[in-house]
Structure 1
Amino acid sequence: MFFQWLKRKLPYGLYGRAALILILPVVTLQLVVSIVFLQRHFEGATRQMTVSMAYDLSYIVALTETAEDVPTALAAIAAAAEPLRLAVLLPVDVEAGTRRDFWDFSGRVVVRELRARVKGLTLVDLDDAREVRLILATRHGPMQLVFPRSRVAVSNPHQLLVLMLATGLLMTFVAYVFLRNQLRPITRLAKAAEAFGMGRVLPYSPRGATEVRAAGAAFLDMRARIEQQIEQRTLMFSGISHDLRTPLTRLRLGLSMLPPGPEAAAMERDVREMGGLVDSFLDFAQAEATDTAPEARDPAEFLAELVADARRAGQEVTLTGVDGEGLATFRPDALRRALENLLANAARHAARAEVSAQLTDETLCIIVEDDGPGIPAARRGEALRPFTRLDPARNQNAGQGVGLGLAIAADIARGHGGELHLGESARLGGLRAELVLAR
C-alpha cells in the first residue's frame, strides 16, 4: 500500500525522475555528512571544552568554600576569575533548572557535562547564545558565574554549511545541464513519433547517446517503411480503381443499348451499386493517404462551411456553437470527409442533426448529434468496424450504404492522433458521435 502511494507521488516525466535520481543522493550525502560528521565532531569538541571548563569552575568553587566569609571569598576568587574570563557575583538569588533552546544540540552536551562534573550546580542558563550563566550553591550562598559560550562550545559551522550548500547547488546545476543535453534527443524523438502518429512529418536526425541514436535510427527506418507502404497502397488502389471502373463503364454502355425493361433496370441498379461499393471501399482504403498537409484552421469557420454545404445538399443540419477560441491543426479534406460521413449517417437514420465543437488546450472535440434510433451501447464498438451494418433491414437494395461511414471517420480520427466515441445524445435522444482530435 505504501509503495503504491509512493509510486503515485513520484514524477512521471523523464526529466523529473532523472533529476530525482541525481538530487536524492546529493541531499542524502549532505544529510549524512551533517549528522555524522558535523554533529559528532562538534559534539566531541564541545565535550572536551566543557570538561576543561568544569575543572576551572570546580577550582573557583573550592576557593569559595575555603574562604571564611564573603569578602574573603570574593578576594580569593578575583585573582583567578579574571584570567579565566569569569564574571562572579556572590551572593545572588536562588535559581534552579535548565534553560536552552530545543535546537541547541551542543547546549545539551554542555548541560550534561557541567551537571556531572561541577558540584552544587543548580541553574544552567543558555538562553543567551553568546554566554553561559550558572548558579552554584556554596556555604556563603548562591554564587553566579558568567563566562563566554565560546569557552565550552565550538562555534556553529556556518562557513562549512554554506560551502556544502553552495557546492550542492553547483553540482545540481551541472547535473541538470548534463541531463538536459542527454534527454533532449529523447524528447525530440518522442515529439517526432507523436507528430507522425497524427499524420505530420517533422524533420528529425538521431543525436545523443549511442542508445538514443539507435532508437532514432530505428524510428526513421520504421517511418520510411510506413510511408513507402502508404504510397504503395495508394498507387495500388489507384490502379484498382482504374481497372474496376473500366469494366463498369463498359457495362453501363452495354446496358444503355438494351431495350428498356425490368431486367435491364435491375442490372443498372446492380452496376450503380457496384460503383458505390468501389467508391466506398477506395474511400476507406485511402483515408490515411491524404494529399493535403495539416493546416492551422479556425474550427468555427471550418464547421460553418461544412454545415452550409450540408444544408445546400438538403440535409437538416444545425451548427449549435463552438465552445472556445483559437486555431487547431488538422487536415481539412480528411476531416471534412469524416464529418460528411457522420452527417450522411445521421441523414439516413434521423430527421435532423446538430453539430457543435469544444476546444481545450490539447484537443478539438467535434460533436454530431441526431434524433434517430441511435446505436445500442453493447454494439457501438462493433459499429466502428468496417463493412458492419447493425440494422438487418439495411440491405444493399435499400441503398443504405455498406457500413463504412463510421469506420472511415474513426480511421481519420486515429490519423489525427484522436478517437471517435459513440454515445447517446441527451438533448436529441439519438446517436452522439464525438470526434476527438489532438489540437
Structure 2
Amino acid sequence: MFDWLKHFLPKGLYGRAALILILPILTIQLVVSVLFVQRYFTDVTQQMSRNMMPELRMIETELRGAASAEAGFAAAASRASGLGLVLTRQAEAQTGDGRAFYDFSGRVVIRTLREAFESLKGVDLSDLRTVRLSFESPHGPYQLQFSRNRVTARNPHQLLVYMLATGALMTLVAFVFLRNQLRPIRRLAAAAEAFGKGRTVPYRIAGASEVRAAGAAFLDMRARIERQMEQRTQMLSGVSHDLRTPLTRLKLGLAMLGDGEEVEALERDVEDMRRMLDGFLAFARTDALEGDAEEVDPAEIARRAVDDAHRMGRHVIFQGAAGEGVALWRAGAVRRALDNLISNAVTYGGIAEVSVAILERSVRFTVEDDGPGIPEDKREEALKPFVRLVPGRNQDQGSGVGLGLAITADIARSHGGSLRLGESERLGGLKAELILAR
C-alpha cells in the first residue's frame, strides 16, 4: 500500500535513523505550535479584548449622553486621556477592517470588538503597534486609538522561538550521539564488505552490546573462513606434492618400457593425472589469492591478456574499453580469471573478442566466442568445480579438468562480483561477463 513511499525514504542507516529522530521532533513542535496558537493567541487575546470593553463603553456613553457635540467630545476626550486612549473627531467614519495576513490575533480582536459594539464601523490593525477604532455617534463619527499591547499579549512569539531553539539544540545533540552510535555499525559494514572483496582490514569491536556481539561474530566467522581456506590450500598442495613423486616414477618407468600403443595410452593417463593435480592446486589457490590488493588499470589488464594470447598464436581481438579509472584488486588473480575465460573461448571457438566497461562502482570484462556455447539450462552447472559438460562444450576438446570457469567464478566472488554466462549476439557462441567491484 505504501510501496511508493519507499522511493522517497533514505537508503542508508544514518539517513533513516536521522529521519526517525527528526520526524517526531517536528511533529511535536507542529502540534504544540497549533495548540499554542489556538489556546494562547485565541483565548488570551479574546480575554484582553473584553477587558477593554468597559473603557470603550464609557467613552461611548459619555458622547451619547452629552447635550451638544462640543461638550460631549470635550468630556469624552478628557476621560479617554485618563484611560490611556486617544480620541479624535472624524469628518467621515472609516468603514472596513484592516490587518496583516499573518496577524492571527488581529482576527480575534476584530471579531470580539464587533460582537460587543454595534456602532463600531471599522477596526484598523495595519500598524501592529496601534489599534484604531472608528465609531458612529449621534454627534458624528470619532476614532479611538490605543496601544496594541492592551488587547494582545506582549511578545507572544517568545515561546515559539524558545521551542524552536531548544528543538534545534536537542536535535544537534542527538545527531552527535547518533553518529557515535552508528560509527561502529558502519565500520563493521566496511570490514564485511572488504572481506567479501578479498581484503582483510583491521576491525576493533566497539559500540553497543548488540553491535559488539555482531562484531565478535563477524571476527569469529572471518577467522574460521580464513582457517578453512588455508587448510584447504595446504591439503591440496600437500596431496599434489606427494602425488608428483609417484607420477614421476611412473613416467620414467613407462619411458623405459619403450614404444607401443599400451605404453602411449598409459603415458596419456599419467599426463591427465598431472593436469588434474595442477588443476586441483590452482583451484585451491583461488581462496588464497596471491599478493595484496593494489590499484590497477582494468583496461591495461585486459590489453596485456590479449597481447599474451596473441604471442601464443591465439585469435583474440580487443574491442577496447568504455570508461576509465582504476580499481583496487589483486592483479594476479584478476589476470588469471581473464586468462581462463580467453583460453576457454579460443579452445571451444575459433575467434574470441574481449571488451571492458568501467562503471562507477564496478568493472565488466566481456569475453565472447564463436563456439557452440553452453545451453541455458547448463550454465549454472558449468560454474561448479570438476564439471565437464557434454556435448556442447565437450571438455575432451581441451586439456582442462572442469575447473576453469569455477576458478574464475571464485575469483569474481572474492572481489565482490560474479561471473555470468550468456549467448553472444554478435558471434553466436558463449558470452562470459566477469563483473568485479571497484
Taking structure 2 as the reference length, the TM-score comes to 0.92
Secondary structure of the 2:355 match is strand
Task: Give 1:120's aligned amino acid.
Answer: S
Structure 1 residues 295 and 91, CA, compared in 2 at 3 Å: closer, same or farther? closer
Q: Distance in 2 between matches of 1:373 and 1:88?
A: 106
The Cα of 1:232 is off from its aligned counterpart by 0.8
Q: Distance in 1 between matches of 2:241 and 2:278?
A: 11
Aligned ranges 1:217-296 → 2 under 5 Å: 217-296=216-295
For 2:174, the equivalent position in structure 1 comes to 175
For 2:50, the equivalent position in structure 1 comes to 51
Structure 1 residues 156 and 368, CA, compared in 2 at 3 Å: closer, same or farther? farther
Task: Give 1:167's aligned amino acid.
Answer: T
Q: Distance in 2 between matches of 1:388 and 1:137?
A: 105
Structure 1 residues 431 and 152, CA, compared in 2 at 3 Å: closer, same or farther? same
Please tell me whether the aligned partners of residues 273 and 396 of structure 1 are also in contact (alpha carbons under 8 angstroms). Answer: no
Please tell me whether the aligned partners of residues 382 and 405 of structure 2 are also in contact (alpha carbons under 8 angstroms). Answer: yes
For 1:208, the equivalent position in structure 2 comes to 207
Structure 1 residues 307 and 397, CA, compared in 2 at 3 Å: closer, same or farther? closer
For 1:138, the equivalent position in structure 2 comes to 137
Secondary structure of the 1:43 match is helix
Q: Deviations over 1:180-200 (max 9, x none)?
A: 111111111111111111111
Deviates more, 1:228-237 or 1:321-330: 321-330
Structure 1 residues 95 and 78, CA, compared in 2 at 3 Å: closer, same or farther? closer
Q: Distance in 1 between matches of 2:145 and 2:85?
A: 6
Q: Deviations over 1:114-144 (max 9, x none)?
A: 1111222232232322222222232234333
Deviates more, 1:72-81 or 1:183-192: 72-81
Structure 1 residues 79 and 68, CA, compared in 2 at 3 Å: closer, same or farther? same
Task: Give 1:216's aligned amino acid.
Answer: G
Q: Distance in 2 between matches of 1:51 and 1:79?
A: 22
Task: Give 1:351's aligned amino acid.
Answer: G
Task: Give 2:422's aligned amino acid.
Answer: G
Q: Distance in 2 between matches of 1:286 and 1:414?
A: 14
Q: Deviations over 1:38-83 (max 9, x none)?
A: 5413432211210011222222222222223432332121102223
Task: Give 1:343's aligned amino acid.
Answer: I
Task: Give 2:136's aligned amino acid.
Answer: A
Task: Give 2:49's aligned amino acid.
Answer: T
Q: Deviations over 1:170-189 (max 9, x none)?
A: 21111111111111111111
1:20 aligns with 2:19: yes
Aligned ranges 1:319-338 → 2 under 5 Å: 319-338=318-337
Q: Distance in 2 between matches of 1:228 and 1:75?
A: 106
Task: Give 2:252's aligned amino acid.
Answer: L
The Cα of 1:417 is off from its aligned counterpart by 0.8
The Cα of 1:341 is off from its aligned counterpart by 0.9
The Cα of 1:155 is off from its aligned counterpart by 3.0
Q: Distance in 1 between matches of 2:105 and 2:79?
A: 27
Aligned ranges 1:44-193 → 2 under 5 Å: 44-193=43-192
Secondary structure of the 2:82 match is coil
Q: Distance in 1 between matches of 2:170 and 2:16?
A: 17
Structure 1: stretches of 5+ with no match in the other structure = none
Q: Distance in 1 between matches of 2:393 and 2:144?
A: 107
Secondary structure of the 1:401 match is coil
Structure 1 residues 176 and 138, CA, compared in 2 at 3 Å: closer, same or farther? same
Task: Give 1:52's aligned amino acid.
Answer: N
Q: Distance in 2 between matches of 1:425 and 1:93?
A: 93
Task: Give 1:373's aligned amino acid.
Answer: P
The Cα of 1:25 is off from its aligned counterpart by 2.8
The Cα of 1:378 is off from its aligned counterpart by 4.0
Q: Deviations over 1:292-316 (max 9, x none)?
A: 2111112222222221111111111
Q: Deviations over 1:349-400 (max 9, x none)?
A: 2222222222233212222222333334444333322333444265555436
Please tell me whether the aligned partners of residues 99 and 124 of structure 1 are also in contact (alpha carbons under 8 angstroms). Answer: yes
RMSD: 2.3
Structure 1 residues 432 and 85, CA, compared in 2 at 3 Å: closer, same or farther? farther
Structure 1 residues 316 and 83, CA, compared in 2 at 3 Å: closer, same or farther? farther
The Cα of 1:169 is off from its aligned counterpart by 1.8
Please tell me whether the aligned partners of residues 341 and 404 of structure 2 are also in contact (alpha carbons under 8 angstroms). Answer: yes
Q: Distance in 1 between matches of 2:430 and 2:131?
A: 84
Structure 1 residues 201 and 38, CA, compared in 2 at 3 Å: closer, same or farther? same
Please tell me whether the aligned partners of residues 347 and 398 of structure 2 are also in contact (alpha carbons under 8 angstroms). Answer: no
Q: Distance in 1 between matches of 2:417 and 2:396?
A: 34
Deviates more, 1:143-152 or 1:329-338: 143-152
Structure 1 residues 397 and 8, CA, compared in 2 at 3 Å: closer, same or farther? closer
Q: Distance in 1 between matches of 2:219 and 2:324?
A: 36
**What percentage of aligned pairs have identical amino acids?**
58
Runs of 4+ in 1 over 6 A off after TM superposition: none
The Cα of 1:329 is off from its aligned counterpart by 0.9
Taking structure 1 as the reference length, the TM-score comes to 0.92
Deviates more, 1:335-344 or 1:289-298: 289-298
Please tell me whether the aligned partners of residues 316 and 352 of structure 1 are also in contact (alpha carbons under 8 angstroms). Answer: yes
Corresponding pairs, count:
438
Structure 1 residues 156 and 350, CA, compared in 2 at 3 Å: closer, same or farther? farther
Q: Distance in 2 between matches of 1:305 and 1:401?
A: 23
The Cα of 1:415 is off from its aligned counterpart by 0.6
The Cα of 1:207 is off from its aligned counterpart by 1.3
Structure 1 residues 136 and 380, CA, compared in 2 at 3 Å: closer, same or farther? farther
Q: Deviations over 1:12-56 (max 9, x none)?
A: 322122222322232233233323345413432211210011222
Q: Distance in 2 between matches of 1:375 and 1:90?
A: 103
Structure 1 residues 396 and 102, CA, compared in 2 at 3 Å: closer, same or farther? closer
Please tell me whether the aligned partners of residues 424 and 432 of structure 1 are also in contact (alpha carbons under 8 angstroms). Answer: yes
For 1:308, the equivalent position in structure 2 comes to 307
Please tell me whether the aligned partners of residues 373 and 393 of structure 2 are also in contact (alpha carbons under 8 angstroms). Answer: no
Structure 2: stretches of 5+ with no match in the other structure = none
Structure 1 residues 143 and 204, CA, compared in 2 at 3 Å: closer, same or farther? same
For 2:10, the equivalent position in structure 1 comes to 11
